[in-house]
Structure 1
Amino acid sequence: MGRKGLFLVLFLLSALSIFIGVKDLMIHALLYGDSQQWLIVATTRLPRTISLILAGATMSICGLIMQHLTQNRFVSPTTAGTMDSARLGILLVMLFLPSASTAVRTLAAFIFAFLGTMVFLGLSRLLPTKDPIFLPLLGVMFGNVVGSLATFFAYQFQLIQNMSSWLQGNFSLVTKGSYELLYLTIPLFFIIYYFAYFFTVVGLGEDVAVNLGINYSLVQTLGIGLVSAASSLVLIMVGTVPFLGVIVPNIISLTYGDHIKQTIWITALYGSLFLLICDIISRIVIAPYEVPVSLIVGIIGSLIFIYLLVRRNRA
C-alpha cells in the first residue's frame, strides 16, 4: 500500500476512533453545532485519538532506533529495561518529591531510562554469544530486576496502585489537558530523522562506522538519549505499550528495507495504525466497557512476535 493509501486508512481509523465510545456521537448533531456533542469531541475523543497516533508512532520509531543501535531485531524500550528504569525514576520522585510537577516526573523518567539503557548496553557487551535471542532475554531479565525493585518500594510506601497505571497502557483516561506533553515527541521525530543516516551506519557495526568517520559511541549515546526521552513521554502520559516497538519495525524491515531515513515515516504510520486498531478493538470487545489497549496489543503482538521468531529460525 502506498503512502497516500496509508494516510487515507489513518484518517478513516481516526474518524472511527472519534465516533466509538459510551456516548453516541451523531454526525447531523455535530453539523448543526450541538454544544454537548462538540464538548465530548474536544475534551475526550479527539485527545484520545491524537494520543494514540503519537504514542503508536513514537514507540515504533523508538524500537526501530534501538534495533539499529544494538544490531538486534528483538530489542525495544520494553525489552531493554528502558521502560522499567523510567518507572523506577517516577516512583522515586513520588517518594521524595510527592508534589513534583509532571515535567519533573518526566525528567526523572528520562534520566533513569537513559541510565538503565546504558547499563543494559554495558551488560550486553559481556554476552559470550552472538545469538540475537540472548540480548532481548538479557534485557527482559534486567528489566524484571529493576521492575521488582520498583514494586518493592511501591509496596513499602503504599504506592502500588499508582504504579499499576504505568504497567498497562490505557487511553481511557486521556482528556484535554492531560496528554499535551506527547506533542514534544514531534520535534524528537525530526531530530531522529536528521540523524537517521548516522543511526543506519551504526547499525552496520562499529568497524563500518569508524571506517566512515563516524563516532560510534557518540552516535549510540545520542540515539539512546532520544529513545529514552520519547519513551518517557509516552510512559508518563499513557503507560507501557508492549511489543509495539518490536513487531512494527520488523514488519517494515521485511517490506521496505533497513535504511532508517527511508523507513522512519512509514514505521511511524504503521505504528499509529496498529495502535488505533487495537484501541478500537479494546473498546468494542466488551462494550460499553473497555479493556486496556495494552492487553489487546499484547495478545496480537505476541502472536506476531512468535511468527517472527519462527520465520527467523526457518530462514
Structure 2
Amino acid sequence: MSKNLSTKLLFIITVILSIVSLFVGVSDISIFNIGKEELDIILISRVPRLISILFAGIGMSISGIIMQQIGNNKFVSPSTAGTIDSAKLGVLMALVLIPKPSTSQKIVISFIFAVLGTFIFMRILKMLKVKDIIFIPLVGIMLGNVVGSIADFIAYKNDLSQNMGSFLRGSFTTIIKGNYEMLYLTIPLLVAAFLYANKFNLIGMGEDISVGLGLNYKLVSNIGVIIVSLISALVVIVIGNIPFLGLVIPNIVSIMKGDNLQKNMPFIAMLGASFLLVCDIISRIIIFPYEIPIEMTVGVIGGAIFLYLIFRRNK
C-alpha cells in the first residue's frame, strides 16, 4: 500500500467513524428515519460533539509532534512537559482572581500559564546533562505533578476542589451548541503548524544543526511553544484533560511512515481524530446508556500504547 493510498484510506475511515459518531447515543436515531426532533438532537448535540472530537484529536496530536520536535525527544508531549497541568493552573487562577470569569478570560490566563510552564520545562531540559529518552519525559511529569499539587492546594484553600475536579475531567458529555465554538480558534493555529512543518522538522535535528542550516532556532521554537500552549488551553477549557493523545499518535505515525514531518502532518491529524473518535464511541457504548469520561478511556488505551512504545524502544 502506497503512502498516498494509506492516507486516503485513513481519511475514509475518519469519515465513516464521524458518521457513526453522529448516530451513537442515548437517543435512538436512525439514519433512515430522521424527523424534526432527531434533527434537533443531531444539530444541537451530536454535531458540536463531533466537531469538538475532531478539533481536539487533531489539535492535541499536532501539538504532540511539535513538542517532540522542539524537545528532540519522542516521549515529550503536552501531557509530559507540564503544559496541560500549567493550563489547568491557569484556569484555576482565573476562577480565583476574577469573579465569574468569561470563557475568553479563562483561555487567556490558561494560555499564559501554559506558555510559562512549557518554557520552564524547556529551560530545565537545556540544563539537564542526561538526555535519556525516558528520563526527560519523567522530568516533565514530575514538573506537571508539582504544578498540579500547587493547583490542588490553591483549589483547596479557595474551596474550589470539587468544581475544578468536575470542570477539568476530560468529557464530551456537556458539549452542545453554544459552548464549544471557541475550539474554532484552533484552525489558524493548525494552519500555522502546517506552514512551519519544515522548520519544526529542522528543529528536531538539534539546535546546532538547525542554526547551521540558517534557521532562527529560538524564534521557531517559541512559535511552536505558543501554538502548543494555545491549543492545549483551548482543549482544557472546552473539554478538559485528554492524556497521552499527543504522545502516542506521533510515535505510531513515526513507526509507520518515518520522520518527515511535512509529509506526515496530515496523517497525524487524521489518525489523532480517528483515535479519539474510536475512544469516544467506546466510552458511549461500553456501559450504555451511561458514559465513561473520555479522559479515562484515552488514558487506559493510550497508557497501554505508551507502555508498548517504551518496551519497543528498549528492545
TM-score bin, normalised by smaller chain:
over 0.9
Q: TM-score, structure 2 length as denominator? A: 0.97
- Alignment-derived partner of residue 132 in structure 2: 131
CA distance in 1, matches of 2:8, 2:227: 28
Task: Indicate if the aligned counterparts of 1:106 and 1:236 stay in contact, CA closer than 8 A.
Answer: yes
User: Number of paired residues?
Assistant: 311
- Alignment-derived partner of residue 14 in structure 1: 18
- Alignment-derived partner of residue 263 in structure 1: 264
**Offset at 1:11?**
1.3
- Alignment-derived partner of residue 156 in structure 2: 155
- Alignment-derived partner of residue 31 in structure 2: 27
Task: Indicate if the aligned counterparts of 1:166 and 1:235 stay in contact, CA closer than 8 A.
Answer: no
Specify every segment of 5 or more residues in structure 1 that has no aligned partner in the other structure, as ranges: none
**Offset at 1:27?**
2.4
SS, match of residue 258 in structure 1: coil
1:89 pairs with 2:93 = no
1:170-189 alignment to 2 at 5 Å?
170-189=171-190
- Alignment-derived partner of residue 282 in structure 1: 283
> After the TM superposition, which of the residue ranges 253-262 and 141-150 deviates more from structure 2?
253-262
Specify every segment of 5 or more residues in structure 2 that has no aligned partner in the other structure, as ranges: none
Deviations 1:257-278 (A, max 9, x none): 2122111111010000000000
Task: Indicate if the aligned counterparts of 2:168 and 2:237 stay in contact, CA closer than 8 A.
Answer: no
**Offset at 1:8?**
1.4
CA distance in 2, matches of 1:202, 1:55: 25
- Alignment-derived partner of residue 36 in structure 1: 37
- Alignment-derived partner of residue 234 in structure 2: 233
CA distance in 2, matches of 1:301, 1:167: 19
Task: Indicate if the aligned counterparts of 1:75 and 1:246 stay in contact, CA closer than 8 A.
Answer: yes
Deviations 1:187-210 (A, max 9, x none): 111111111111110110011111
CA distance in 2, matches of 1:161, 1:49: 28
- Alignment-derived partner of residue 77 in structure 1: 78
1:101-250 alignment to 2 at 5 Å?
101-250=102-251
Hey, which bits of structure 1, 4+ residues long, moved more than 3 A? none
**Offset at 1:15?**
1.0
Task: Indicate if the aligned counterparts of 1:117 and 1:224 stay in contact, CA closer than 8 A.
Answer: yes
Q: TM-score, structure 1 length as denominator? A: 0.97
CA distance in 2, matches of 1:37, 1:43: 10
**Offset at 1:98?**
2.2
CA-based RMSD of the aligned residues comes to 1.0
- Alignment-derived partner of residue 4 in structure 1: 8
Query: One-letter code of the match for 1:177?
Result: G
Query: One-letter code of the match for 2:45?
Result: T
SS, match of residue 76 in structure 1: coil
Task: Indicate if the aligned counterparts of 1:6 and 1:269 stay in contact, CA closer than 8 A.
Answer: yes
Query: One-letter code of the match for 1:17?
Result: S
Determine what percentage of the aligned residue pairs are the same residue: 48
> After the TM superposition, which of the residue ranges 56-65 and 255-264 deviates more from structure 2?
255-264
Task: Indicate if the aligned counterparts of 2:170 and 2:242 stay in contact, CA closer than 8 A.
Answer: yes
Task: Indicate if the aligned counterparts of 1:18 and 1:46 stay in contact, CA closer than 8 A.
Answer: yes
**Offset at 1:241?**
0.5
Task: Indicate if the aligned counterparts of 1:185 and 1:230 stay in contact, CA closer than 8 A.
Answer: yes
Task: Indicate if the aligned counterparts of 1:44 and 1:175 stay in contact, CA closer than 8 A.
Answer: yes
**Offset at 1:166?**
4.7
